[in-house]
Amino acid sequence: MEAIKLKLFLVMLLVAFAATTAQPAAPSEAPAPAPASDAPLFYPTFFASLSALVFAFFL
């Protein structure tokens, strides 16, 4: 049971890491971002951290 929880936790971390590092366009092809457009980048990190904390709470 403990091994399954650890594997699930590692998979969740890998998925969260892949989702936050994925870039749909190369920087040379993308236009310059607006100053206010960097705010939504913190939402995936927040939800990944929250899901890890909730998962650890229920271990």
Q: What is the pLDDT of residues 1-33, one digit of tens each?
A: 788 888 888 888 888 887 777 666 566 666 666
Domain assignment of residue 11, given as a range: 1-21+40-59
Q: Is the CB of residue 59 less than 8 Å from the CB of residue 5?
A: yes
Q: Is residue 49 part of a domain?
A: yes
The mean pLDDT value for 38-53 works out to 75
Both tokens of residue 18? 């892949």
Torsion, Cα 5 9 15 17, to 10 degrees, reads: -170
Domain count, the chain: 1
Q: Is the pTM of this model over 0.75?
A: no
What distance in Å separates the CA atoms of residue 11 and residue 51, rounded to the nearest whole number?
12
What distance in Å separates the CA atoms of residue 49 and residue 45, rounded to the nearest whole number?
6
The mean pLDDT value for 47-58 works out to 85
Q: Is residue 12 part of a domain?
A: yes
10 Å CB burial of residue 26 (0-12, 13-18, 19+) is: exposed
Please report the pLDDT score of residue 32 as a whole number.
67
